[in-house]
Structure formats: structure tokens, C-alpha cells
């Protein structure tokens, strides 16, 4: 019997290009981001000066068209690295450019007209515009097909009525991709997407929402009251909005995996350092089995998360047959592990972990939303179960 060697879909370690990219990002975060985290958290706003710096670094166009200033080919591994390294400083700071470039950008890259790409995508990649995605509503989160916002066809365009909630970048966006029903009688097949501008009549932005975490990001409720959008701002095809949204979910889930890895890695690193220094009963607490075993388990869980996330990213870019299932597994596993490691870190630090100065509290807060955004734990398990034929 002859055994034919198979070319692996993925590798278990970063290659030289991605290692170099990570090194550049780490230096950037150390020099440009970490020094302003405290002020950003207190002011509950994204530091605007970072936009031009991120654009100069070339990270606002990963996977977006070269003609618009992007990198061209999809690179989910690079996106995850970006998400991880920025999240090590602050989840709120990280999610702001992520929501703009990696969640908003792909809609225009895949479905936008040349004019839309020139007008909106190109300036976003250059750091001159900020994007937002407006899908979630008070009565429709995971059930995207259940949105109730309506876009009624009129002469020359559409009138949008409805509301959105939990919209990241909602108050700072220069353009928004808004999902609404062009056929209210339909569910999946009745949704379309539109580019809405803050200057559009009938568009309203609510007050910043007070959140448990992600303090450095802008999150709003949006209102649409006969908001007129011209025909040339329809994104893709009428009635194809749900499928366009579904195509973008995989990338969103992978960057959330990257954020989870960032929070988990910082919590493990800080806990390990603290366990080697903190004295109790005549020993450093790392000498106690209860603590050392906890740290060992944290390291094991983080390693498995990394391997699964890297495998998922490479399979998505390779369009592997099982990419949907593996991405869902990674999103579920990584985000749960991040929360578990943050909780263990809080326990290792004790009372000190509850103080803002140790940064454990920040990562503890910021990690929690990852199990909800981009698809809840329950939705991820449902996707995996369906892919198993259940």
C-alpha cells in the first residue's frame, strides 16, 4: 500500500512574515498605545490621534483591495495578530479600528461599487474616515433575520425607519452600513444594506451607552425617522443583505478570537510575574500547589486556544470545507478561555486584582463581551452541531 503525503491546510506556528508583523505591532502598542490607555479609559473615548498612526502602519487595510490602499489578499492571521496586540493594551481601543476596517470595510470591498469604494473605503483605509456596522436592534441580536427596521422604496432612493442598538463607533462614524427590511414580509430574503451618513436627514444618534467594559470605545443607539438614502448608496443587491452579513461573520469571529488571546495572554503574564514576587506564609505564592496548578492550567488553555484560532484562520483563508465549523469552535473556545483566565488572574492577585492599577480589572471587564458579540456561545455551539449533521 502506498501512502500519499498530504499537504497540510494549516501550520501550528507563525511564519517569519507574521512574526515580523507581530514584532512591529508590539513596539507600536508599547510606544503609542499603552501610554494613553488610562486617559482613554477615564474619558471613555477612543484617542483620535491613533487613526493617522494606524493608517501609517498599514493596518487599516488588511485584506482590503489594493486599489483602495489595502493589502489585497485575505490574511486572517494578520487580522488576529492585530486584534491580539491591541487588546493587550485595551479591548476598547482595539475594537474601534477593528469594527471600522475589519467589520465595516469588507462589505464595500466585496459588494460595493467602484464609486462607493473610492468615496468611502479608500479614505477609511487612509485613516481619514471611520466606519460602523448597524445591524443589531433592541429586539433582534443573534436573530439577524428578525430585524424590524424598514427601508421603503421611494423615488430616487429609500426611506429608512427603525432603530439600532449596541452599535460600536455609532457616534464617531463617518459612514455606516445599515441593515433594513426592503421586504418586511420576508425574513432572510427581505434584508438589504445601505450606506448612511451622519448628515442624512432623519438619522439620529443617541447618548453614549454606559458599558461594563470597552470603556474606550463609542457605543450608541441609532434612530432612523424617514431617513432618506439615495439609490447609489445601496450596498450589493436588494434582498441579499442577510447573505452579505453572513459572509462577514467569519472574519468578525476570528478577530474576536484574537482579542480573546490578547486578554488571556496579558492576564497569564501578569499572574505569573505576581506569583513569583508575592510573599505569603514565608514563600512566594507560586510555590503553593493551588496557585501553580492554576497557572499551569491557564497556560494549557491558552495554548489550545492559540492552536485552534490559528487553524481556523488558515482554513478560512484557504476556503477549507470545514472552515465554518472550525471558526465557530475557535470563537467559542477562545472567548470562554479568555474569561476563565481573567477570572483566575483576579483570584491570583486577590484584592490587588480588583484595583484598576494592576490592569487585571480592565481585561476582566473587556473580555466578557467576547462571549456575546459576533455570535453568542449558544449560537456557536448551534453552528457546530448543525455542521455535525444534528
The residue ranges of DSSP E strands in 278-321, in sequence order, are: 279-280, 283-284
> What pLDDT, on the 0 to 100 scale, is given for residue 9?
54
Mean pLDDT of 253-282: 98
Residues 355 and 339 placed together within one structural domain of the fold: yes
Residue labelled with grid coordinates 510555590: 287
Terminal-to-terminal C-alpha distance of the chain: 35
pLDDT above 60 for 3: no
C-alpha cell of residue 214:
470597552
Cα Rg, the chain, nearest whole Å: 22
CA distance 384 to 390: 9
Pairing of strands 175-181, 191-196: antiparallel
Just list the catalytic residues.
252
CATH assignment of the domain containing 69 = 1.10.540.10
CA distance 184 to 150: 7
Residues 71 and 164 placed together within one structural domain of the fold: no
Last residue of a domain, one of 110, 129, 148: 129
* pTM, entire model: 0.95
* ∠ Cα 257 262 268 (to 5°): 120
Query: How large a percentage of the chain has pLDDT more than 90?
Result: 94
For residue 310, being part of any structural domain is answered with: yes
Mean pLDDT of 313-341: 97
CA distance 10 to 311: 6
For residue 183, being part of any structural domain is answered with: yes
The residue ranges of DSSP E strands in 105-215, in sequence order, are: 131-134, 150-154, 157-168, 175-181, 191-196, 203-205
Residues 328 and 378 placed together within one structural domain of the fold: yes
**Count of helix runs (H) and strand runs (E) in the chain:** 13, 10
For residue 163, the tally of other CB atoms under 10 A from its CB is 17
What 3-state DSSP class applies to 153?
A: strand
pLDDT class of 2 with cuts at 50, 70, 90: very low
* Segment 359-385, tens digit of pLDDT: 999 999 999 999 999 999 999 999 999
* Segment 134-189, tens digit of pLDDT: 999 999 988 899 999 999 999 999 999 999 999 999 999 999 999 999 999 998 89
* Segment 87-99, tens digit of pLDDT: 999 999 999 999 9
> What pLDDT, on the 0 to 100 scale, is given for residue 5?
43
Residues 119 and 20 placed together within one structural domain of the fold: yes
> What pLDDT, on the 0 to 100 scale, is given for residue 385?
98
pLDDT class of 101 with cuts at 50, 70, 90: very high
CA distance 159 to 232: 13
Residues 272 and 376 placed together within one structural domain of the fold: yes
* Segment 182-195, tens digit of pLDDT: 999 998 899 999 99
Number of independent structural domains in the chain:
3
What 3-state DSSP class applies to 168?
A: strand
CATH assignment of the domain containing 270 = 1.20.140.10
For residue 8, being part of any structural domain is answered with: no
Pairing of strands 175-181, 131-134: parallel
DSSP one-letter code for 69: T
Across the chain, which distance is largest between two alpha carbons, in Å?
A: 80
Report how far Cα 187 is from the mean position of its chain's Cα atoms.
Answer: 26
> What pLDDT, on the 0 to 100 scale, is given for residue 277?
97
Name the residue among 358, 348, 334 with its Cα closest to residue 272. Answer: 348
Last residue of a domain, one of 98, 129, 160: 129
> What pLDDT, on the 0 to 100 scale, is given for residue 10?
63
Mean pLDDT of 345-371: 97
CA distance 325 to 257: 14
C-alpha cell of residue 285:
505564592
Q: Are 174 and 131 in contact (CB under 8 A)?
A: yes
Mean pLDDT of 54-77: 95
State phi, psi for 218 to the nearest 5 degrees.
-95, 125
pLDDT class of 236 with cuts at 50, 70, 90: very high
> What pLDDT, on the 0 to 100 scale, is given for residue 1?
41
State phi, psi for 269 to the nearest 5 degrees.
-60, -45
CATH assignment of the domain containing 155 = 2.40.110.10
pLDDT above 80 for 4: no
Amino acid at each position: 500500500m502506498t501512502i500519499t503525503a498530504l499537504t497540510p491546510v494549516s501550520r501550528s506556528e507563525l511564519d517569519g512574515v507574521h512574526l515580523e508583523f507581530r514584532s512591529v505591532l508590539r513596539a507600536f502598542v508599547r510606544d503609542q498605545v499603552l501610554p494613553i490607555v488610562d486617559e482613554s479609559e477615564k474619558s471613555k473615548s477612543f484617542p483620535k490621534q491613533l487613526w493617522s498612526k494606524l493608517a501609517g502602519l498599514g493596518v487599516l487595510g488588511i485584506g482590503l483591495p489594493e486599489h483602495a490602499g489595502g493589502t489585497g489578499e485575505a490574511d486572517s492571521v494578520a487580522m488576529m495578530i492585530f486584534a491580539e496586540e491591541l487588546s493587550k493594551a485595551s479591548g476598547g481601543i482595539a475594537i474601534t479600528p477593528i469594527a471600522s476596517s475589519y467589520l465595516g470595510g469588507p462589505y464595500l470591498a466585496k459588494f460595493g461599487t467602484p464609486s462607493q469604494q473610492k468615496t468611502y473605503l479608500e479614505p477609511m483605509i487612509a485613516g481619514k474616515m471611520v466606519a460602523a456596522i448597524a445591524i443589531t436592534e433592541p429586539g433582534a441580536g443573534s436573530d439577524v433575520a428578525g430585524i424590524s427596521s424598514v427601508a421603503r422604496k421611494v423615488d430616487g432612493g429609500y426611506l429608512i425607519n427603525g432603530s439600532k442598538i449596541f452599535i460600536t463607533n455609532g457616534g464617531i462614524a463617518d459612514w455606516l452600513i445599515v441593515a433594513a427590511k426592503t421586504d418586511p414580509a420576508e425574513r432572510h430574503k427581505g434584508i438589504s444594506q445601505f450606506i448612511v451618513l451622519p448628515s442624512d436627514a432623519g438619522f439620529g444618534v443617541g447618548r453614549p451607552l454606559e458599558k461594563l467594559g470597552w470603556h474606550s470605545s463609542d457605543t450608541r443607539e441609532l434612530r432612523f425617522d424617514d431617513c432618506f438614502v439615495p439609490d447609489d448608496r445601496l450596498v450589493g443587491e436588494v434582498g441579499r443583505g442577510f447573505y452579505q452579513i453572513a459572509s462577514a461573520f467569519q472574519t468578525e469571529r476570528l478577530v474576536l478570537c484574537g482579542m480573546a488571546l490578547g486578554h488571556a495572554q496579558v492576564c497569564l503574564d501578569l499572574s505569573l510575574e505576581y506569583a513569583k514576587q508575592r510573599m505569603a506564609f514565608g514563600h512566594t505564592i507560586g510555590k503553593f500547589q493551588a496557585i501553580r496548578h492554576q497557572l499551569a492550567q491557564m497556560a494549557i488553555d491558552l495554548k489550545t486556544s492559540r492552536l485552534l484560532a490559528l487553524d481556523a484562520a488558515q482554513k478560512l483563508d484557504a476556503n477549507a470545507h470545514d472552515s465554518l465549523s472550525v471558526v465557530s469552535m475557535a470563537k467559542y473556545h477562545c472567548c470562554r478561555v479568555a474569561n476563565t483566565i481573567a477570572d483566575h488572574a483576579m483570584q491570583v492577585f486577590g484584592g490587588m486584582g480588583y484595583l484598576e492599577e494592576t490592569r487585571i480589572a480592565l481585561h476582566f471587564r473587556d473580555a466578557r463581551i467576547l462571549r456575546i458579540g459576533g455570535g453568542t456561545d449558544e449560537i456557536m455551539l448551534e453552528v457546530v452541531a448543525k455542521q455535525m449533521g444534528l
